[in-house]
Amino acid sequence: MLTERQIEFIRTIPKGENHIHIEGSIPARVALRLGKRNGVSLPFSSEEGMKAFVKKNVVDLNSFMKCDRLINSVCITEEDYFDVVYALAEDAKKQNIIYQELHLDYPLNEERGIAMDVVMKGYDQARKAALKDFGVEIVFIAGIDRTLPPTQCAAFIKNLEHYRDVVDGIGMDCEEKGYPCILHKESYEIADSLGLFKTAHAGEDDGSQNIWDAIDELGCQRIDHGVRAIEDPVLVKELVDRKILLAMCTRSNANACFLFPSLKEHSIRPLSEAGVICSISSDDPPYVGDLLWEYEGVIDEIGFDEDQMIKLARNSLEYSIRGQHHLPTFDAWVDDWKKRWN
Ligand SMILES: [Zn+2]
């Protein structure tokens, strides 16, 4: 049960978010509107219906990806892609998120024959409108689907040379087991030559070796999730020494992908206590809840105190791709907050 102070803290602290997937985050209101606009039928007709559908059908990472593809199929035109990111920024503003790094998983659109230019132009226009209308700074990370052929992924990353003013980073997601990140070394070499920031989902549903490969072989400056780093003490020390951020999503790990029996047992606590730099994000809000809900879980169920939460929030800006200029605003908010309550 949260105190009045905790409720206000969660609502008002300026937040960054380092790990949220556009295609997995289409709000129900937008999915329904775009479905209607484009004549794409969905197996639900209300926000509640979408929640129930997701709850019933998502039982693991694989079923999650199927659901993700189904809902994303409502996006066809540039305007649709604009609407999705604009809606995400609108929701970010309500949560006092000032800086957000969005993974754009173009392969989910490519497989439906949508041209990259359509997607990128829609997202880019929305990024600009988000800053102007909501004061939310958005940075894009291009995500490759690790289950696809490496040559196809490399072609996608190569194409980013035409969108360097839109995209700032490269990431990798989808099922880890059977698809070690090392398969996509070429994509990361191309990303490196384009000057992109490098991150990868690793140590989520597979072990710590994937994290080692991501940082040593692919040159990743960040790891998304990385929850299984806790199984490897040498890796934990390495992450601390190299100041590598783990962009974690505790509810997604525990409640959507069932990597832990309960949120309480999530590895964010022992990893943070060992000195690993962590931040928290929502991953895919329609499936697991928004960032406020993520904050609430880390406080109420995992038991982080206020100073630990301030550290997580600060990390989301300090170790972001380019959100460090928000730190003075963040620190001023913390000073005011402490004066007010202490
Ligand atoms: Zn993710």
- Residue 17's pLDDT is what? 98
Per-residue pLDDT reduced to its tens digit, 65-114: 889 899 999 999 999 999 999 999 999 999 999 999 999 999 889 999 99
With cut-offs at 50, 70 and 90, classify the pLDDT of residue 297. Answer: very high
Q: Spell 29-38 as b/e; 16+ CB within 10 A means b.
A: ebbbebbeee
Beta strand pairing call for 137-145 and 167-173: parallel
Cα gap 234→231, rounded to integer Å: 9
Instruction: Give the 3-state secondary structure of residue 243.
Output: coil
The mean pLDDT of 318-335, rounded to a whole number, is 98
Beta-carbon contacts of residue 331 (< 8 Å; ≥ 6 apart): 314
Q: How far is the CA of 279 from the centre of ligand 1 (A)?
A: 13
pLDDT digits (tens, 9 = 90+) for 166-193: 999 999 998 888 999 999 999 999 999 9
Averaged confidence pLDDT in the chain: 95
Q: What was the pLDDT predicted at 1? A: 87
Mean pLDDT of 120-133: 98
Domains observed in the chain: 4-341 (3.20.20.140)
What's the confidence (pLDDT) of residue 63?
86
Q: What is the predicted pLDDT for the residue at 191?
A: 98
| Residue 316 exposed, middle or buried by CB count within 10 Å (0-12, 13-18, 19+) | buried
Contact 194, 161 (CB under 8 A): yes
Looking at the predicted structure, is the pLDDT value of residue 258 above 90?
no
CB 201 within 8 A of CB 176: yes
Which residue among the candidates 17, 204, 294, 318 is catalytic per the annotation?
204
Query: Cα(156) to centroid of ligand 1, in Å?
Result: 19
Q: Cα(205) to centroid of ligand 1, in Å?
A: 11
Indicate if the pLDDT at residue 308 is higher than 90.
yes
pLDDT value at position 204? 86
Q: CA-to-CA distance for 152 and 158, rounded, in angstroms? A: 10
- Is 217 a residue of the active site? no
Q: How many angstroms separate the alpha carbon of residue 182 from the centre of ligand 1?
A: 18
What is the residue whose two structure tokens read 């070690």? 180
Q: Using 50, 70 and 90 to split pLDDT, how confident is the model at 64?
A: confident
